[in-house]
A and B are shown apart, each in its own frame.
Chain A
Amino acid sequence: MSHSGFFSFLRFRAVIAKEFVQMRRDRVTFAMMIGIPIVQMVVFGYAINSDPKHLPAAILAADHSVFSRSIVAAMQNSGYFRIVSTVATEAEANFLIEEGEVQFVLTIPEQFGRCLVRGEQPTLLLTADATDPAATSNALAAFRLVAEAALVRDLQGPLAYLRRGPPSLQVILHPSYNPEAITQYNIVPGLMGVVLTMTLVIITGLAITRERERGTMENLLATPVKPLEVMLGKIIPYILVGYVQMGVIMLAGRFLFEVPMIGNLWLLLAVSLLFIAANLGVGLTFSTLARNQLQAVQMAFFFFLPSILLSGFMFPFRGMPIWAQWIGETLPLTHYLRIVRGILLKGNGLAQLMPNLWPIAIFLLISLTVGLTRYRRTLD
């Protein structure tokens, strides 16, 4: 039996080499593997994660000092706001916001200019319609800086002392309707997990069903090749594809969307291996369960939909009912999203990632086991 063996590195390498050649020959699929991340990045990135500018705003000004006018002008110049009307009463302002005519109302109190000059730190109130937090959060964040910068220019000569010491004015931000803003940077790192899940599960889902459908499985089964050699031989080339996809997404995230990446990128690449392998394991398992390629694709979508809906990519995870959270906890994407966001946005290290690493590892183990036991060594 020794010359037959349980696992042969030579046979394993032969399968890998064959997969690479086939991958190269299948131009359309190859183009999709690179194209899907780019298209999804651009579409999702700009559609979901837009950084809206020129949002309509109204001014409720009870003060007409030079300072008030500077602040209004600076708002306009920042690009975030477009002043569409000036109102006289609070009732009018509320009406405009409720109607959705404007997204913001800036209230400048009486005597604003005088108070400012006296160093009394007068208060500006910026009210926002924050129904869609992604739409307003940037503008809200920018406003305080815009207002202060505008005044810096005006506080010259005898007033220059106001530029030192405490801020010359106070800004109160009032996001109505949805006070808990979600940061938009969540989405681009999340996309990385979504794209990897989608393309890798589908592509490997096709791997064994294709051999079955084209009749090449009959030949393969009549040779001494072992199931593990075929499975791993098919997984390895696509792990590389997964890394290429990650590279594309990270470059796009960095340069198109300016996502901050404060964590260790090498750590991210390393832990992503687990996630990529888990997805490939699922794909291969589907591949052994499905009778043909169409079924394999359907199964891949069956897996993909809950992944995208229940992982916290689409909706905030803690907003879902408990039973949905339980389903979400079993999916690799849920944990990977936390890992990616943790590394990129919070600068997490390996220790903080552990609670999300082992569930993916368990998932990988289960999917590979199911795949291996379901891999039929005969045509029965």
Chain B
Amino acid sequence: MTSGAPVIEVRELTKSFGPNIAVNRLSIQVEAGEIYGFLGPNGSGKTTFIRMLCGLLRPDSGAGTCLGYDLFREGDLIKLQIGYLAQRFSLYEDLSVRENLHFMARIYRLPRVKDLVAETMERLGLTRFAEQLAGNLSGGWKQRLALAACLLHRPRLLLLDEPTAGVDPKARRDFWDEIYRLAAEGVTSLISTHYMDEAERCHRLAYLAYGKLLASGTAAEVVAASGLFTWTITGENVHLLAAELKQKPGVELVAPFGNTLHVSGYDPEILRAAVADLDQTRYSCAQSEVDLEDVFISLMNNNRGDH
């Protein structure tokens, strides 16, 4: 594949389960070497989309290529070059770390299985757990093992479905370090997540709700495109203002952040007026940067039930 061609390119991909449309005419393009973030509320179609990419589900309609292979006809070839990390731990809990990796390596018919497994365990720090049953590992190490298993065959694309859910901060940091190392080697990653800090680590993002793509681009682009403005209010018992502020015209969102309150809206002048109404002796108000989370929540609110 030439370096210029996108790794994932899908158009109008659709998938329904009975009357529910899980993915609704989704079009997306992911470039080689990118870390592409996939965000959206539960049930927004992230998992369904990822499963369609790796051949676990058949799309109802649409078109697309993955690694240059046709999504509908060349699933077997795609499978050889992707690494898929399912949301739920899906290796064998009654096999040891080494046995699991051996099994996966043989399934991909890789040469020098023994050395390869040893190298992979070394790289991901799994060597000291080699003989432990996978079921006895902690959540963070399980994810690491799962990552190791989908790296064995040196895939060009990683599809990671909420890889860090329920994993502690240190393990999450290590996980992301690994993803960055892989990106530097040219491996493309598509990661779904609920964490905002992880969203900001991605090169580009897509935000899905109700199976539809609501926003995409870099974090800055998504924020700019949202048209939101935010004021931060500080002061004693500032959270008591939330209910009052929500009633005011022009206020879209009120979200407490520790001892501050974020107030967001689409019209900067009306929002300024709403904030100016407050008792300026007790509270200090200042315009601030728009938070990615606020953007997503407002996107979701504006599209509720519209599907």
Contact A216 B55 (CB under 8 A): no
Interface check A351, CB cutoff 8 A:
no
- Among B77, B84, B92, B107, the residue within 8 A (CB) of A4 is B77
How far does the alpha carbon of A222 sit from the alpha carbon of B54 in the complex, in Å? 6
Alpha-carbon distance between A17 and B95 when the two chains are bound, in angstroms: 11
**In the bound complex, CA of A102 to CA of B18 (Å):** 71
Most chain B CB atoms below 10 A, which of A14, A222, A378 = A222
CB-based nearest B residue for A22? B94
Restricting to B79-105, which residues have a CB under 8 Å from any CB of A? 79-80, 82, 84, 86, 88-95, 99, 102-104
A378 partner, pick from B57, B82, B90, B94, beta carbons under 8 A: B57
A259 CB to closest chain B CB (Å) equals 38
Chain A, residue nearest B89 (CB): A215
Shortest beta-carbon distance from B238 to chain A in Å: 45
Collect the chain B residues with CB atoms within 8 Å of residue A218's CB: 56, 86, 88, 90
Question: CA of A378 to CA of B82 in the docked complex: distance in angstroms?
Answer: 16
| Binding stretch for chain B, among A5-13, A105-113, A181-189 | A5-13
**Does chain A have a CB within 8 A of B109?**
yes
Question: For chain A residues 255-312, which have a beta carbon within 8 Å of chain B?
Answer: none
- Are A22 and B106 neighbours in the complex by a CB distance under 8 Å? no
How far, in whole Å, are A197 and B106 apart by their CA atoms in the complex? 32
Hey, which chain A residues are within 8 Å of B92, CB to CB? 18, 22, 214, 216
CA distance A10 to B58 in the complex (A): 28
| Residues in chain B near residue A225, CB distance under 8 A | 107
A99 within 8 A of B: no
- Contact A215/B95 with A10-B109, A224-B107 known, Cβ cut-off 8 Å: no
Judge if A25 is at the interface, Cβ distance under 8 Å: yes
Q: Across the interface, which residues of B come within 8 angstroms of A215, CB to CB? A: 86, 88-90
Beta-carbon contact of B90 and A21 below 8 Å: no
Say whether A380 faces chain B, with CB atoms less than 8 Å apart: yes
Interface residues on B, range: 20 to 34
Q: Is B194 part of the binding interface, using a Cβ–Cβ cutoff of 8 Å?
A: no
- Contact yes or no, B93 A224, CB < 8 A: no
Max count, chain B CB within 10 A of own CB: residue among A11, A215, A218, A379 = A218
Chain B residues within an 8 Å CB radius of A217: 90
Known A-B contacts A17-B103, A218-B90; A378 and B56 likewise in contact (beta carbons under 8 Å): yes
Question: What's the minimum C-beta distance from B12 to chain A, rounded to whole angstroms?
Answer: 19
Q: Are A380 and B95 in contact (CB under 8 A)?
A: no
Taken together as a complex, chains A and B put the C-alpha atoms of A13 and B77 apart, in Å, by: 21
Contact of A3 (CB < 8 Å), options: B80, B95, B107? B80
With a cutoff of 8 Å between Cβ atoms, the chain B residues found around residue A18 in the complex are 92, 95, 99, 103
Question: In the complex where A216-B90, A378-B56, A379-B51 touch, is A22 in contact with B95 (Cβ < 8 A)?
Answer: yes
Q: Which residues from chain A contact B94 at a C-beta distance below 8 Å?
A: 21-22, 25-26
B108 located at the interface, meaning its Cβ lies under 8 Å from any Cβ of chain A in the complex: yes
Asked whether B54 lies within 8 Å of A14 as measured between CB atoms, the reply is no
Q: Is B76 in contact with chain A by the CB < 8 A criterion?
A: yes
Contact pattern, A 217-242, Cβ under 8 Å of B = 1, otherwise 0: 11101111100000000000000000
B-chain residues with CB within 8 Å of residue A25 when the two chains form the complex = 94-95, 133
> B131-164: which have CB < 8 Å to A?
133, 149
A188 to B99, CA, bound (A): 41
Contact between B56 and A379, CB atoms less than 8 A apart: yes
Give the Cβ gap from A287 to chain B, nearest Cβ, in Å.
17
A residues near B58, Cβ cutoff 8 Å: 378, 380
Check if B90 sits within 8 Å of A224, measured CB to CB: no
Tally of contacts, chain A with chain B, CB under 8 A = 84
B-chain residues with CB within 8 Å of residue A13 when the two chains form the complex: 106
CB neighbours (8 Å) of B104 from chain A are 223
Question: Chain A contact residues (Cβ within 8 angstroms of B): what range?
Answer: 20 to 34
Known: A4-B80, A10-B109, A224-B80. A21 touches B99 (CB 8 A): yes
Q: With A4-B80, A215-B89, A216-B91 given, is the CB distance from A221 to B103 under 8 Å?
A: no
User: Is A1 on the interface with B (CB-CB < 8 A)?
Assistant: yes
| A11-B107, A214-B93 known; A221-B56 Cβ under 8 A | yes
Looking at the complex, which one of B80, B90, B106, B133 makes contact with A219 (CB distance below 8 Å)? B90
> In the complex, what residues of B have CB within 8 A of residue A377's CB?
55
Chain A nearest CB from B299 CB (Å) reads 29
Interface residue from A4, A14, A378, A379 paired with B103 (Cβ < 8 Å):
A14
Contact A11 B93 (CB under 8 A): no
Min Cβ gap A18→B in Å is 5
Q: Which residues of A contact B99 (CB under 8 A)?
A: 18, 21
Residues from chain A with Cβ under 8 Å of B106 in the complex: 10-11, 13-14, 17
Select from chain A the residue with minimum beta-carbon distance to B17. A380
Cβ contacts under 8 Å, B55 to chain A: 221-222, 377-378
Inside 8 A of B86's CB, which chain A residues have their CB? Answer: 215, 218-219, 222
Most buried by B among A22, A217, A221: A221
Q: What's the least CB distance linking B235 to chain A, in Å? A: 49
Question: Cα distance A215–B55 when bound, in Å?
Answer: 16
**Given A215-B86, A215-B89, are A223 and B108 neighbors across the interface (CB < 8 Å)?**
yes
CA distance A222 to B44 in the complex (A): 22
The answer to whether B103 and A224 have CB atoms under 8 Å apart is no
Tell which of B79, B93, B107 has the most Cβ of chain A within 10 Å: B107
**A222:B79 contact, CB within 8 angstroms:** yes
Give the nearest-CB partner of A230 in chain B. B107
Chosen A-B contacts, 28 in total, with CB atoms closer than 8 Å, are A1-B76, A10-B106, A11-B106, A13-B106, A14-B102, A14-B103, A14-B106, A17-B103, A18-B95, A21-B99, A22-B94, A25-B94, A214-B92, A215-B88, A215-B89, A218-B88, A218-B90, A219-B84, A219-B90, A222-B55, A222-B84, A223-B79, A224-B107, A378-B56, A378-B58, A379-B51, A379-B56, A380-B57
Nearest 10 interchain pairs by C-beta = A14-B106, A219-B90, A222-B84, A25-B94, A215-B88, A215-B90, A218-B86, A218-B90, A4-B76, A18-B103
Residues of chain B touching chain A, judged by Cβ–Cβ distance below 8 Å, are 51, 54-58, 76-77, 79-80, 82, 84, 86, 88-95, 99, 102-104, 106-109, 133, 149
Known: A17-B106, A21-B94. 14 other contacts (CB 8 A): A8-B109, A17-B102, A17-B103, A22-B92, A216-B92, A219-B86, A219-B91, A219-B149, A222-B54, A222-B86, A223-B107, A224-B80, A224-B107, A378-B56
